[in-house]
Structure 1
Amino acid sequence: MGDAIRDPFGALRTLDLNEGATSYYDLRVLEEQGLVELDKLPFSIRILLENVLRHAGGEYVNEEHVKAVASWSPTNSGADVPFMPSRVVLQDFTGVPAVVDLAAMRNGLEAMGGDPQRINPVVPADLVIDHSVQVDYFRRPDAFQLNVEREFERNRERYALLRWAQKAFENFSVVPPGTGIVHQVNLEYLASVMHRRPGPEGHVAFPDTLVGTDSHTTMVNGLGVVGWGVGGIEAEAVLLGQPYYMLLPEVVGMKLHGQLPEGATATDLVLRATELLRNHGVVGRFVEFYGAGLSNLSLPDKATLANMAPEYGATIGLFPVDRETLRYLEGTGRSPDLVERVEKVSRALHLFREDDTPDPEFTSTLELDLSTIVPSLAGPKRPQDRIDMARIRQAFGEHLPALVPSGFDLPDEVKADEPRTAESWAGEGGDVPIATGGGVRSAHRTGSRNRYRTLLWEGQEVEIGDGSIVIAAITSCTNTSNPSVMVGAGLLAKAAVEKGLQVRPWVKTSMAPGSKVVTDYLEGSGTLDDLEKLGFGVVGYGCTTCIGNSGPLPEPIHKLVEDEGLVVASVLSGNRNFEARIHPLVRANYLASPMLVVAFALAGRIDIDLYNEPLGRTPDGTPVFLADIWPSQQLIRDTVTASLRPEMYEERYAEVFEGEEHWQALPLPEESALYDWDAESTYIQNPPFFQGMNLDTPAFSDVKGARVLALLGDSVTTDHISPAGAIAKRGPAGRYLQEHGVGVVDFNTFGSRRGNHEVMMRGTFANVRIKNLLLDGKEGGYTIHLPTGEEMSIFDASMKYQAAGTPLVVLAGSEYGTGSSRDWAAKGTSLLGVKAVIATSYERIHRSNLVGMGVLPLQFRSGDSAASLGLTGHETFDISGVAPDGPEPGGTVQVVATAPDGAVTRFEALVRLDSDVDVQYYRNGGILHTVLRKMGRGEM
């Protein structure tokens, strides 16, 4: 709160709580002064208004900012606002490079003559290690223990860094591996909804707000907490006391009414909402849910919807605080004092929703009747591409031709088979379609173009083909936080086991709960044993398959799929299914509820009509259909009520920071303000960002004679740009590791090596599915070096260009940078020598991250694109209008593209530096460079 009370509007009031007298900043004072009508403001804007009101009069926030937020209306948004989050959450993939940067900043500040211990989190931060466990072992009782041991073998250096950071930095805590997923730990434990912290004169209460280094930070919006994912670069700036500068957003209201019908789950609701919101267009906007239907959703259901905000494109997906929030806090073991604080302060701040609360005004609205939700999946490569379960078989057939890898062909069209009803299967003996016996061509195959190959598997002949499911994973924060779908999966497994069903032997199954409480209530419900019998035993507590840590496929299946070019599938209860994310060889990936994950694993294939085809047969040959084992909503509710107790949360989170034996066995580093960099480490290296810096702010400069490193199409995601997943043996990063004595078996993943810039820059733009249009349809991280015309890896070309002093640009299409908030998508771009990106449109986080690394984001004017301007990527580019005074926020620059034959194309590009602060960051070379210079000059 600072050294003195700041209250230019006279809004400070006092509440009597069980915890003691507590001050708060009353928004109704602004209403009395005629600045706002609170009932008309969306709840999310009210929270931002409290934030600027509380900080007004300080270094970054003034009275005009308060008035700007107070004047928000459906037709008045876009004001430049400094947001001061109350905390930061990090996961280890993005958290480790943040810690590396902070450690490097200490070295940089010392080199400029400053005190390195001044580099310290000012805003409290919690880092949860949840992204490093990989599914190496599965379908065995010791899988969890073996995966944990392997995790520590791979990540000892990274974890040692985090142990150092926990001791070296103030306001910094680490939740050790094997505890849970960051967003679920945040929801169940870290989030307070309303803080109560010491101020200059007593305690002050205010809304819990945050930013996180994972785009699914939005899950906590289900609790009424405003927070979202940002790049690691921005998160580090917030840690160091900088505001998060944002444009006051438009707010889209989604009105919910009715209730979910029998057979529909929260996952199905999420996939439908994602589809609707993505079609409506909510990128860069807040989404806020309202209406009577909110009272028919549990808080975990709301958190599931909020979690998917990045998938529907919104910054947040907020549910206001209501009675269900209070019930959830009580049910997860929060103290009575906290529950009282949340209710009383929320009501005092006009932030508590009742069924008769007036609807706020929104920029735009859409409605969803919950009773229309049907069982669904999304795929095969985007979360917004929802498919009714009834037509998944047909949809796979439609998608199949585009999924076949180059060099392989499908059979010619064949006559379609007649649809079959469930009744027509009754009484038939023998195997189910895609049987495990002798290559029998089952009825469903008559009308398909699928290719099948017979494989000897554990002494038995099985058929693997297009549409065979090779990975089935109950994973990710989206659904493992929700007891209804997790218990539902357990009850479905129990019924399947009682019928004598088994998961198909070629399916790699796994379950990675979001917290240990999930295991507790599954045990309490008596269903964990049944999940284990079907192969869904606990393999770890972390994100696993959803972030590409699915681990290797069994070698015979890997070889068959690779050699035959088969389009095999995964089904997972996650939130991301972008190309090559789940596994490089799995080309069709589908999101589904945990219950459907189990069901499809029993079927063994994705191209099945689960309404009319049997999942399997009992030992006596009776067909078993999904309806025979699907649990009712009442049974799920009763089971959850009987098996879930607040004491489970209290017991588990009482030891949340302790860690298990492997963590405790790590050597404690010596206390030192500076990290002891190991020059031989292939995991942690001192990055070059701050080396050689001085206190002088650089001058602006135009870009002259730039070459195109990559010419990219639409919807290129950060999964395409940022290094992620497995490290290819023959790629630049794989070669680097081998040159440094690392065997292929010890490569680990790109995510685990985010603390080493040498590895990461070699993996930038190296995704096996990325298509650089400079090449003729070739996939992978390759480019054409110009003017020689030589084809080589993007990294090798970059090094060659940089050695010659040639600046680089990237040309891209619409929605550039959609996907997870990955700082390395921007860091790698910068280290590869890219000075500017020119795209048709940007995803919010990636645009901001480019600015944060000193890369200039430019946007084609409406109607323009690389294709419409006739750009081939073989031109040289000159960008003027940057020097000498710098570009104006939202202004334009002139671009001249000169073709090899001398033909010139001139066009204007919009400057996507959206504020004066963006310009300042860009000029300094990035956010952290700006902070470091300020600290070095004694300005902060």
Structure 2
Amino acid sequence: MASVDSFGAKGTLDVKGKAYEIFRLDAVTGEGVDVASLPFSLKVLLENLLRTEDGADITADDIRFLGAWDADAQPDKEIQYTPARVIMQDFTGVPCIVDLATMREAIADLGGDATKVNPLAPAEMVIDHSVIADFFGSADSFERNVEVEYERNRERYQFLRWGQGAFDDFKVVPPGTGIVHQVNIEHLARTVFTREVDGVLQAYPDTCVGTDSHTTMVNGLGVVGFGVGGIEAEAALLGQPVSMLIPRVVGFKLHGDLPAGATATDLVLTITEMLRKHGVVGKFVEFYGAGVTVLPLANRATIGNMSPEFGSTIAVFPIDEETIDYLRLTGRSEEQLDLVEAYAKEQGLWHDPTVEPRFSEKLELDLSTVVPSIAGPKRPQDRVALTDAKSSFEGYLPTYTSQPEAKVPVTLADGSSFDLENGAVTIASITSCTNTSNPSVMIGAALLAKKAVEKGLTRKPWVKTTLAPGSKVVTDYYDKAGLTPYLEKVGFNLVGYGCVTCIGNSGPIIPEVSAAVNEHDLAVVSVLSGNRNFEGRINPDVKMNYLASPPLVIAYALAGNMNVDLFNDPIGQDTEGNDVFLKDIWPSPAEVEATIAEAIDSAMFTKDYADVFAGDDRWKNLPTPTGNTFTWDPASTYVRKAPYFDGMPLEPNAVTDIEGARVLLKLGDSVTTDHISPAGAIKKDSPAGRYLAEHGVDQRDFNSYGSRRGNHEIMIRGTFANIRLRNQLAPGTEGGVTRDFTAGGEVTSVYEASENYIGAGIPLVVLAGKEYGSGSSRDWAAKGTSLLGVKAVIAESYERIHRSNLIGMGVIPLQFPEGQNAESLGLTGEETFAISGITELNEGRTPKTVKVTAGDVTFDAVVRIDTPGEANYYRNGGIMQYVLRNLLKG
């Protein structure tokens, strides 16, 4: 911890007789310093620097610079930020623990102590990404899905149980408990953190980094938390600070109140559209003003959750009475509540709606102007007012099917039959942390279901309906309010506590419906209460995906088609044959609030989280390995020793320029980490499917890429394999294919081409357009890229996390000159590339540009190694190698 206190900031805070050591922000003084007017989020960063000042990585000048922050300046000052804790979900967390286990062996092989590889910051993992909605629509759906989840993931879960025992300060929330971000806000988040340091109890702002981009949900609680790649999270676990540039801060002023009929989902889709249009990539967004005061904490968390969708690093709300009330509701101790309030007020972190901090940029929204909305058919920022949803769908339809007027007769196994049309809602899912943490929309959905049942309505027979809450508390308040039976009658039975549909774990759609869709090229849709609706993400049979509030998810399940105007068209008929309209079953705000008041209390949270790390009998009875190092099973297809340290020397090799490289893929704009990283189901005829078959795995046990993230052999084969990826190097194709110039340019899988290039000693390059790597903070998007032999990516622009992750895996991110791209430069992707000037890094300098020669074309590419810390990672071949070498030296 800090060994220097240049400002004499160390002090004591007494809270009802209990003393805490704090670092006082008002101690920071100097020319131009004005701590009081700093945005909330920068005050949190300032405290972080004060507390961790060591005179080397963090100096008095760094602290003074932040205190005198110039709101108008472009970010160019790097700071070393040390989060209080790390939070992980199992898809992204398993590779972290695999890498830590591998590092233990590597450090031992190089003569070091294996137990040095140990979390130095508290780490918590919630297993929430592995459940798949295979079963739905029945009372035992949840039990059956959890049973299958354990069968599929036994090896991974045994490995995580080993990790929980082998590593200090590492806790695991077992399967079937909740979604990581909801568990975070309801239980794990502290708002003000306490930790004993050198025998003294310190209090400081709760901050975190997470291996999921939606870590930002905790911003609603006044916690500065954001997503990082798994490789950055590993470094944080091992005590490495996160290098970051002091960002621009966008102030977002809220006033007014939401009108009747508008939900938190509608608000967040409006804000997402506004901020994506404004441009907030790499910036902090901070909400302030009188409108914040009337905004429930759950709505704040819903907005914070969507930060990755509009591209900001965080979307934070300051601490106020609503924060305290929520902490009390969710069962936090009175001692913690007293500390949060006292600390926030002492440090100037308490929200005053009459005060306007200095911001770099400002936006404003009158909450009363928000209207019911959905977003789709392929991006969360593409908001559509519900009044325009039908016409918007009709406008998009011709681009998704060659038969817009098709009607296909379908007969189900139970003998029922119907005509299936384009726009049919084949998945309606209440899922994802974004909305299932919000009682107003969850209760609203259940009340709508009740009114629908009373009118005699139910889901259309082609709709797969699933309910996957973010925690068991949701089930408790549904049961207490007597609403569970109504949800079940319209088909929304509990399928699991996890992300499920939102991350592609929707499970198969109804088999007969799937057959009709694929045979007749129908453009069917999903409607989900999630945050991501990128192409190919939700289900391979579903081309168009829409985000909607939980009540609208149920409404669309009843209507059965996107080609319905929910304001003017009936969504069904009652028992007497009369038309029923959405307005007839939409619950009033007063009904929702009354039900919340009656059905939700703090005892539910206390009960459900009392023994949250213990797990059920399935978890407790898993055979668990022991020992400081893991005993790898060579036959395992889930967990394999990572290759990153194979043959690693004690000192890093010199950085070299890139010669004789070929293009592996040439991609367009908005290629997301979903397009790059392995995700979703593993197909039988894919390289990963063939690998599993060769290792004796039946197709029914293939499971998802996410569940097999601990096996690099699977993940390499699934990188750039998304079914919607369009590689311009192989025009007319979709999916993970490219041209292999070691074989005369023939079209083959990306993995097989990569193997041939690696075998021939040929380095690889990826060309891309704007916003390369947007979306989830998937470490495998960078790990897979690196293991495929890619040495450089040249794009028009990057999203923050993926650019950083590429460097963390030893891949150099380069940018085309301003205003230019592959097309304007005449690049086809068939050229041989040379990149010179990278070797300047060996002399301790980071070049601003490097020379790229591609056939007859030459241009200067901008080097996107943005901080000295990133330069150190790249020189070492990656962040993990850098950390390991430092551990050996220490």
Structure 1 residue 516: Cα displacement = 0.3
Alignment of 1:54-65 (within 5 A): 54-57=51-54, 60-65=57-62
Aligned match of 1:819: 775
Structure 1 residue 276: Cα displacement = 0.4
Structure 1 residue 73: Cα displacement = 2.2
Please, which of 539, 543, 567 is the counterpart of residue 583 of structure 1?
Answer: 539
Alignment of 1:426-825 (within 5 A): 449-457=404-412, 458-669=414-625, 671-786=626-741, 788-825=744-781
| 1:834 maps onto 2:790 in alignment | yes
Structure 1 residue 889: Cα displacement = 3.7
Please, which of 878, 884, 887 is the counterpart of residue 932 of structure 1?
Answer: 884
Aligned match of 2:825: 869
Q: What is the RMSD computed on CA atoms of the aligned residues?
A: 1.1
Structure 1 residue 728: Cα displacement = 1.2
Deviates more, 1:787-796 or 1:231-240: 787-796
8 A Cα contact 1:450 1:467, kept in partner: no
Structure 1 residue 201: Cα displacement = 5.3
Deviations 1:103-145 (A, max 9, x none): 0101111110111111000011000000000000000110000
The alignment partner of 2:350 has SS state of: coil
CA distance in 1, matches of 2:703, 2:368: 45
Structure 1 residue 885: Cα displacement = 4.2
8 A Cα contact 2:656 2:839, kept in partner: yes
Please, which of 834, 849, 872 is the counterpart of residue 892 of structure 1?
Answer: 849
Deviates more, 1:634-643 or 1:878-887: 878-887
Deviations 1:201-257 (A, max 9, x none): 521110000000000000000000001000000000000000000011111111111
> What is the aligned length?
886
8 A Cα contact 1:835 1:855, kept in partner: yes
What is the one-letter code of the residue matched to 1:643?
A
CA distance in 2, matches of 1:59, 1:751: 40
CA distance in 1, matches of 2:57, 2:591: 53
The alignment partner of 1:283 has SS state of: coil
Aligned match of 2:360: 363
Deviations 1:651-707 (A, max 9, x none): 1110101111211121122x2111000111000111110111120111010000000
8 A Cα contact 1:801 1:807, kept in partner: yes
TM-score between both structures, scaled by the size of structure 1 = 0.93
Deviates more, 1:780-789 or 1:885-894: 885-894
CA distance in 2, matches of 1:223, 1:785: 50
Please, which of 65, 69, 88 is the counterpart of residue 66 of structure 2?
Answer: 69
The alignment partner of 2:838 has SS state of: coil
What is the one-letter code of the residue matched to 2:263?
T
Give identity over the alignment, percent: 55
Structure 1 pair 311/268, CA: closer, same or farther in 2 (3 Å)?
same
CA distance in 2, matches of 1:450, 1:265: 34
What is the one-letter code of the residue matched to 1:830?
S
| 1:89 maps onto 2:87 in alignment | yes
Aligned match of 1:160: 158
Aligned match of 2:169: 171
The alignment partner of 2:830 has SS state of: coil
| 1:392 maps onto 2:347 in alignment | no
Structure 1 residue 756: Cα displacement = 0.3
8 A Cα contact 1:889 1:919, kept in partner: yes
Structure 1 residue 38: Cα displacement = 2.5
Deviates more, 1:801-810 or 1:53-62: 53-62
Aligned match of 1:912: 864
CA distance in 2, matches of 1:349, 1:727: 51
Deviations 1:163-195 (A, max 9, x none): 000000001000000110000000000000001
Structure 1 residue 355: Cα displacement = 2.7
| 1:39 maps onto 2:36 in alignment | yes
The alignment partner of 1:502 has SS state of: coil
CA distance in 1, matches of 2:875, 2:601: 54
Structure 1 pair 740/19, CA: closer, same or farther in 2 (3 Å)?
farther
Aligned match of 1:227: 225
Aligned match of 2:46: 49
Unpaired runs of 5+ residues, structure 1, are 411-448, 899-903
What is the one-letter code of the residue matched to 1:926?
G
8 A Cα contact 2:432 2:531, kept in partner: yes
Deviations 1:367-405 (A, max 9, x none): 11100111100000000000011111100111111222x
TM-score between both structures, scaled by the size of structure 2 = 0.98
Structure 1 residue 69: Cα displacement = 1.4
8 A Cα contact 1:73 1:362, kept in partner: no
Aligned match of 1:278: 276
8 A Cα contact 2:840 2:847, kept in partner: no
CA distance in 2, matches of 1:401, 1:70: 55
CA distance in 2, matches of 1:179, 1:476: 14
8 A Cα contact 1:718 1:818, kept in partner: yes
The alignment partner of 2:839 has SS state of: coil
Deviates more, 1:621-630 or 1:197-206: 197-206
8 A Cα contact 1:487 1:525, kept in partner: no
Deviations 1:579-598 (A, max 9, x none): 11000110010000000000
Aligned match of 2:138: 140
Structure 1 pair 161/19, CA: closer, same or farther in 2 (3 Å)?
farther
What is the one-letter code of the residue matched to 1:757?
H
8 A Cα contact 2:687 2:751, kept in partner: yes
The alignment partner of 1:39 has SS state of: coil
CA distance in 1, matches of 2:34, 2:679: 47
8 A Cα contact 1:88 1:125, kept in partner: yes
8 A Cα contact 2:247 2:284, kept in partner: yes
8 A Cα contact 1:694 1:933, kept in partner: no
CA distance in 2, matches of 1:64, 1:890: 25
What is the one-letter code of the residue matched to 2:410?
L
Aligned match of 2:253: 255
Please, which of 9, 12, 32 is the counterpart of residue 11 of structure 1?
Answer: 9
8 A Cα contact 2:28 2:64, kept in partner: no
Alignment of 1:841-852 (within 5 A): 841-852=797-808
